């Protein structure tokens, strides 16, 4: 089957300056289909267990989904798999905005970068013309300048993925941006590229791709496009992007003061409510084939930074991660912090969280004035701005924070560990004391750690969804009837539910379809199975396709078991059970999804057992021999 693959894997060795093109083998497609499937197989073969993530031996494995490059709405995903410099897990990052399309059109489904260059370089991939270029003039520059220069040189029709100064300086939570607006690289892809002296990847493809059954494909896509266009909240999503979730529920807020209190909803509303939209001028940026466009060019219309223009990977980041964490009040200051972080190549969520954490340790006397070199840490704009600069340039306290959470704990000791809201060395994004949903539980058991990877794919993102509604979702994603009993009786079991959400996510990532809410709600397992067959000409049942989603999740698990991860790492911040989140006189404890009972440690451990059981893993979280055999994975 050639369609709709690019047909090749491109290997670039930065040490040798050599390039090798290898045909994508039929056996790989048969056993792992594509997207995440083949990508994790490559990771299994190429990432040698125990390597230092910042060593030249750590490859970067880029991959596109099977449907990327077709007209399937939202089939836009570019994934990068690597051993993460921040926490040593082998996990995927996802981005959009045309990089995957261009790579596919150039004839490649995967790009594997190995080795380390002596001098700064960029990789140029224009169809069969692949070469390394001198990037000395770009080294030391931000992502905006780098991207603009490369566009000036090669034209605006190519995709540019670039790192900033944070990546060059090996900040362990630095990332890259695609076309200045789509993030790629949670866990430190920026640092990994920096360690390889790789400033950017520039891609342009002109070959196009074909699908096996054009007529059937078109028949399947038309109603999906129509559904997305007709979706009642489409306009609001386009206006608010990732802020939509907060803007939809004005009573919802987010923890601040290092996960100890909830920011007052009234105040929060000033940061993400409709009124904020009047303070910024926006125009949407969309990935190819996407009728939504959730990224923005924006301009602050008032406040201290009135007139500041920025391209935003995270509109929500401005409000929630900068605005709430540092009590900014003035929205334009959030725009400023986001603009700085994006340009330097600092990942917003982790950067704002680690600064918030440092302030907390300082207030508790765990970080002293000696360590901050006299800098007084306060929860405000000035402190955040100073530490963003210091982290990027590895100065003062910033040099310590740039090494990440685990290094901070080693440096500041046991007391510091108590206040770190991390899982497997990565900061959490969801707190079960607000709502215990599948995103929240997934943080505990997924190899990647704190940050959940399946946002918006589960209806439990929203509180109080009825069991009927959740069952309908299970039907959509192909959960077999006999498993439904285990998930829903005698009550909703979030652990068992999460397993199926993850497998569905695996399917979407084989295909490369965006998981953001307005896109993902328009797909179900039957639709994507039909799309797969129409695109590839290969007959497959929905059950078989979902089994591939399961296979990938198991493969990712065994890769990380090789790295030494096991049940001991499927842990969570103890404060989730020990202390409530506070809002005035109110206290919020970790309860079940329907908030009927408060959880104890035994309850959570039982859920972890249930998750392993649903997956067919042993008590230590290791896939059993029988399970691996059943999935066709190595023992
Ligand atoms: S919703 Fe956003 S991330 Fe997803 S395809 Fe559209 S523009 Fe890209």
At 523-566, the pLDDT tens digits run 999 999 999 999 999 999 999 999 999 999 999 999 999 999 99
Of 541, 550, 453, nearest to 499 (Cα)? 550
Q: Is the CB of 74 under 6 A from ligand 1?
A: yes
For the beta carbon of residue 559, count every other beta carbon within 10 angstroms: 22
Q: How far is CA 462 from CA 267, 317, 550, 569, in A?
A: 21, 19, 25, 27
What is d(CA 396, CA 371) in angstroms, rounded to the nearest whole number?
7
Under DSSP, the state recorded for 379 is S
- Chain centroid offset of residue 155 CA: 28
CA–centroid distance, 289 to ligand 1, in Å, is: 9
Tell me what pLDDT residue 565 has.
Answer: 96
CA–centroid distance, 91 to ligand 1, in Å, is: 21
Of 324, 303, 320, 328, nearest to 380 (Cα)? 328
Of 38, 72, 76, 74, nearest to 531 (Cα)? 72
Percent of the chain's residues with pLDDT above 90: 80
Tell me what pLDDT residue 187 has.
Answer: 94
Q: What is the mean pLDDT of the chain?
A: 92
Please report which confidence band the pLDDT of residue 461 belongs to, taking 50, 70 and 90 as the band edges.
confident
Q: Is the CB of 289 under 6 A from ligand 1?
A: no
Q: Is the CB of 287 under 6 A from ligand 1?
A: yes
- Residue-wise pLDDT for 323-357, tens only, equals 899 999 888 898 899 999 999 999 999 999 999 99
- Residue-wise pLDDT for 375-391, tens only, equals 999 999 999 999 999 99
CA–centroid distance, 247 to ligand 1, in Å, is: 18
- Give the nearest ligand 1 atom to 97 CA: 8
First to last CA, the chain: 28
Average pLDDT estimate for 599-615: 97
* CA nearest ligand 1 atom 4, residue: 514
- Residue whose CB lies within 8 A of the most ligand 1 atoms, among 71, 72, 74, 512, for a mutation test: 74
CA–centroid distance, 533 to ligand 1, in Å, is: 24
73 with 221: CB under 8 angstroms? Answer: yes
Average pLDDT estimate for 267-293: 76
Instruction: Flag whether pLDDT at 252 surpasses 70.
Output: no
Please report which confidence band the pLDDT of residue 250 belongs to, taking 50, 70 and 90 as the band edges.
low
Tell me what pLDDT residue 274 has.
Answer: 59
For the beta carbon of residue 481, count every other beta carbon within 10 angstroms: 8
Tell me what pLDDT residue 606 has.
Answer: 97
**Cis status of the peptide bond prior to 283, with omega within 30 of 0:** no
- Give the nearest ligand 1 atom to 518 CA: 1
- Residue-wise pLDDT for 89-113, tens only, equals 999 999 999 999 999 999 999 999 9
Predicted TM-score of the model (pTM): 0.96
- Give the nearest ligand 1 atom to 292 CA: 6
Q: Is the CB of 333 under 6 A from ligand 1?
A: no
- Give the nearest ligand 1 atom to 515 CA: 4
Q: Is the CB of 290 under 6 A from ligand 1?
A: yes
Q: Is the CB of 349 under 6 A from ligand 1?
A: no
Please report which confidence band the pLDDT of residue 275 belongs to, taking 50, 70 and 90 as the band edges.
low
Q: Is the CB of 292 under 6 A from ligand 1?
A: yes
Beta strands 198-204; 121-126: pairing state: parallel
CA–centroid distance, 287 to ligand 1, in Å, is: 6
Instruction: Flag whether pLDDT at 72 surpasses 70.
Output: yes
CA–centroid distance, 331 to ligand 1, in Å, is: 24
Percent of the chain's residues with pLDDT above 70: 94
Average pLDDT estimate for 239-260: 70
- Residue-wise pLDDT for 133-187, tens only, equals 999 999 999 999 999 999 999 999 999 999 999 999 999 999 999 999 999 998 9
Tell me what pLDDT residue 298 has.
Answer: 82
CA–centroid distance, 292 to ligand 1, in Å, is: 6
- Give the nearest ligand 1 atom to 96 CA: 8
For the beta carbon of residue 207, count every other beta carbon within 10 angstroms: 14
Average pLDDT estimate for 501-506: 95
Best-predicted range by mean pLDDT (242-251, 253-262, 568-577): 568-577
Instruction: Flag whether pLDDT at 231 surpasses 90.
Output: no
Instruction: Flag whether pLDDT at 314 surpasses 70.
Output: no
CA–centroid distance, 147 to ligand 1, in Å, is: 20
Of 115, 130, 111, nearest to 42 (Cα)? 111
Please report which confidence band the pLDDT of residue 1 belongs to, taking 50, 70 and 90 as the band edges.
very low
């Amino acid at each position: 089957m050639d369609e709709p693959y690019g047909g090749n894997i491109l290997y670039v060795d930065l040490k040798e300056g050599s390039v090798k093109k290898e045909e994508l083998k039929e056996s790989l497609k048969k056993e792992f289909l594509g997207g995440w499937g083949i990508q994790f197989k490559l990771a299994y073969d190429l990432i040698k267990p125990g390597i230092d993530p910042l060593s030249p031996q750590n490859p970067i494995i880029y991959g596109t989904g099977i449907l990327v490059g077709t007209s399937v709405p939202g089939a836009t995903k570019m994934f990068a798999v690597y051993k993460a410099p921040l926490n040593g897990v082998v996990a995927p990052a996802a981005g959009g905005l045309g990089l995957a399309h261009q790579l596919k059109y150039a004839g490649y489904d995967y790009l594997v970068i190995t080795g380390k260059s002596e001098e700064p370089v960029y990789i140029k991939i224009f169809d069969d013309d692949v070469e390394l270029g001198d990037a000395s003039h770009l080294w030391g520059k931000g992502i905006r300048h780098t991207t603009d220069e490369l566009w000036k040189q090669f034209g605006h029709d190519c995709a540019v993925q670039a790192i900033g100064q944070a990546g060059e300086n090996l900040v362990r939570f630095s990332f890259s941006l695609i076309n200045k607006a789509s993030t790629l690289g949670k866990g430190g892809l920026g640092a990994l590229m920096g360690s390889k002296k790789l400033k950017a990847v520039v891609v342009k493809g002109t070959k196009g791709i074909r699908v096996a059954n054009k007529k059937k494909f078109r028949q399947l896509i038309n109603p999906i496009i129509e559904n997305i266009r007709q979706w009642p909240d489409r306009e609001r999503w386009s206006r608010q992007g990732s802020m939509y979730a907060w803007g939809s529920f004005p009573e919802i807020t987010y923890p601040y003061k290092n996960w100890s209190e909830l920011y007052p909803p009234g105040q929060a509303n000033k940061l993400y409510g409709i009124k904020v939209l009047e303070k910024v001028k926006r125009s949407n940026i969309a990935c190819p084939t996407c009728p939504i466009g959730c990224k923005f060019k924006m301009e602050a219309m008032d406040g201290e930074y009135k007139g500041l223009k920025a391209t935003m990977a995270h509109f929500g980041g401005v409000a929630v991660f900068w605005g709430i964490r540092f009590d900014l009040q003035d929205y334009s200051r959030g725009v400023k912090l986001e603009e700085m972080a994006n340009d330097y190549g600092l990942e917003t969520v982790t950067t704002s969280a680690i600064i918030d954490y440092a302030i907390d340790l300082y207030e508790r006397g765990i970080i002293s004035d000696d360590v901050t070199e006299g800098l007084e840490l306060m929860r405000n704009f000035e402190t955040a701005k100073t530490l963003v600069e210091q982290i990027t340039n590895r100065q003062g306290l910033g040099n310590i924070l740039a090494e990440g959470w685990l290094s901070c704990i080693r440096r500041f000791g046991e007391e510091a560990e108590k206040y770190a809201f991390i899982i497997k060395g990565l900061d959490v994004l969801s707190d079960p004391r607000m709502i215990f949903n599948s995103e929240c539980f997934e943080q505990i058991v997924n190899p990647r750690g704190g940050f959940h990877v399946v946002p918006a794919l589960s209806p439990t993102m929203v509180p109080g969804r009825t069991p009927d509604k959740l069952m309908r979702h299970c039907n959509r994603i192909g959960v077999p009837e006999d498993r439904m009993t285990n998930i829903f009786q005698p009550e909703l079991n979030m652990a068992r539910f999460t397993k199926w959400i993850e497998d569905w996510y695996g399917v979407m990532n084989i295909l490369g379809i965006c998981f953001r809410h307005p896109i993902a709600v328009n797909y179900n397992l039957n639709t994507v199975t039909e799309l797969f067959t129409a695109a590839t000409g290969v007959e497959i049942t929905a059950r078989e396709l979902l089994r591939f989603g399961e296979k990938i999740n198991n493969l990712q698990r065994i890769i990380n078991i090789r790295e030494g991860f096991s049940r001991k790492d499927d842990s969570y911040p103890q404060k989730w059970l020990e202390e409530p989140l506070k809002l005035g006189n109110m206290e919020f404890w970790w309860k079940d999804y329907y908030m009927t009972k408060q959880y104890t440690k035994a309850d959570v451990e039982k859920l972890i057992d249930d998750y392993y059981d649903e997956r067919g893993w042993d008590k230590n979280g290791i896939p059993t021999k029988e399970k691996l055999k059943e999935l066709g994975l190595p023992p």
